[in-house]
Amino acid sequence: MATAENDKRRIQMADIARLAGVSTSTVSRALNGSTLINEETRQRITELARSLNYSINLSAKNLRLGDNRTIGVVIPFDRKTRQHVSDPFFLGMLGSLADALTDRQYDLLLSRVDAEHLDDLAGLYDTGRASGIIVIGQWGHHDQLNELAVRRVPFVVWGAQLPRQLYCSVGSDNLSGGMLATGHLLELGRQRIAFLGDTTLPEAAQRYEGYLLAHRKHGVPVDPRLHIPTSFTAAEAQAAMQAFLDQGIPLDGIFAASDLIAMNAMGVLAAHGLDVPRDVSVVGYDDIEAAAHCHPPLTTIRQPIDMAGAAMVECLLAMIEGQRPESRILATSLKIRSSTCPAP
């Protein structure tokens, strides 16, 4: 019964939003009396709600004003890549956040929001379901996140620190990580190093910038054909690697924007009769648990995921208490395993 009632409420809120020409989060804020919504819009939405016999949940509002010990954790859903919650990086981050929240005696509420409509994540806060929000990833929507910060929605983002950023972020030092990975391959004598990743996304873009800087530092020119665009999904990484090899462009090294991309690229290389690490040395990024157990074990850049959860929770709780925490960049390190070796 409770589930059916919740479904009914969601459908009605979507109807109100469609009729009013606003987002569902705007409807939520208006029905809860938020001063962020102008009076005319609030009245229009309230009248629509009454015409649909929509019952405003005042208990949720009262819960938010009281001692709500639930934090919303949002993993945006990108319809283009369809990256699943079961992605090993997401699972590692969720584990880190769960541990950090448990230590502070908070509950975790996991949610997915369309990456094209990050404004909707404010509904978790406005309806009182969560006292604050942690967003895993910027997904190329820096401006939307800035708009949420202007509205004073309490949230922290795992991602890159960007110019003119108004919100608090916690992330790894992607630039340094990119330099470490590429520098390692160059020091091994690799001269034709491919980069696999989607540079339209902030974190991957910074890792690629580190890749370019390392080449400049070592005086090695970059062949633009060695940039292989791919999302963070296994299927697209395999397809991108396959398409590249079909062109016959020579390479002797790979720096992948994630371990998942790297491991799938290694599978395609093996299918083409190329030995890793002798023919092509490979470096990933993240240091997920599987990286140490694949064949061969993957050299990678370690993001301090164990520290990430605690850092994001600390920043968010400070924000909820009215403080303005600074964004944080966590150090990365190189973990050398068997997927890299000196050039023959």
DSSP symbol at 56: P
Task: Assess whether the previous peptide bond of 76 is cis (omega < 30° from 0).
Answer: no
Task: Assess whether the previous peptide bond of 250 is cis (omega < 30° from 0).
Answer: no
pLDDT of residue 4: 44
The 3-state DSSP class for residue 21 equals coil
pTM metric for this prediction:
0.80
Helix H segments across the chain? 2-20, 24-31, 39-51, 58-65, 88-103, 122-126, 142-150, 174-187, 202-218, 234-246, 259-271, 305-320
Residues of the chain with CATH 3.40.50.2300: 174-303
Are 304 and 330 a contacting pair, CB within 8 Å?
yes
CB atoms near residue 154 (< 10 Å)? 22
CATH number for the domain running over 1-56 = 1.10.260.40
List per-residue pLDDT tens for the chain, 344 residues long.
444 444 444 446 777 888 888 887 788 778 776 667 888 888 888 888 777 766 554 434 444 445 678 999 998 887 766 677 888 899 999 999 999 999 999 999 999 888 777 778 888 888 788 999 999 988 778 888 998 898 888 999 999 999 999 999 999 999 999 999 999 999 999 999 999 999 999 999 999 999 999 999 999 999 999 999 999 999 999 999 999 999 999 999 999 999 999 999 999 999 999 999 999 999 999 999 999 999 999 999 999 998 999 999 999 999 988 899 999 999 999 999 999 999 99
Are 197 and 261 a contacting pair, CB within 8 Å?
yes
DSSP symbol at 134: E
CA distance readout (Å), 165 to 134, 145, 149: 16, 9, 9
Residues of the chain with CATH 1.10.260.40: 1-56
Cα–Cα dist 198/248, whole Å = 22
Q: CATH number for the 174-303 domain, one of 3.30.565.10, 3.40.50.300, 3.40.50.2300, 3.60.21.10?
A: 3.40.50.2300
